[in-house]
Amino acid sequence: MEYFNSIPSYGKAVAETNSECYHIKFNCNVELARAVWRDFVKARPDLKKYLQYHVNLKGTAVLFGGRFPQESKAKNLLYDLIDKHKQLNGKYKAA
C-alpha cells in the first residue's frame, strides 16, 4: 500500500528521476481490475512481474499498477484495456 501511496495521481504516468522507468496506478472495482489484469498478462506476459495490486479491506475496490520501463508502453496497454472493458461492461468504474 505504501508503494501506491507514493504515486501522486491516478491514471497518470509519473517518470522516475534519472531512470528510464515510470510509475502508474489505477483505482477501480474488482471486476474491472480482474478483466484488465487477465488481458494485460495475456498480451504482455513479460511485464507481469511489474504489475502490482492491492485490494481494499471491503474487497470492493482495487489499486493496481506498477513501475514499468518506458519502452514497454505498458501505460498505453493499460489505458486501452480499461477503456475496452468499461465499454463492454458499463457498470465498471475506474479512476
What does residue 37 show for φ and ψ, rounded to 5 degrees? Answer: -60, -50
pLDDT in tens, 19-72: 999 999 999 999 999 999 999 999 999 999 999 999 988 888 999 999 999 999
**Which has the higher per-residue pLDDT, 3 or 75?**
75
Q: How confident is the model at residue 86 (pLDDT cuts 50, 70, 90)?
A: confident
Average pLDDT of the chain?
90
Q: Rounded CA gap, 16 and 22, in Å?
A: 5
What residues contact 75, with CB distance under 8 A and at least 6 apart?
13, 22, 24, 68
Give the chain's domains with CATH numbers: 2-88 (3.30.1360)
In sequence order, what are the beta bridge partners of 69? 21
Q: Which helix (H) or strand (E) holds 74?
A: helix 74-88
Amino acid at 55: V
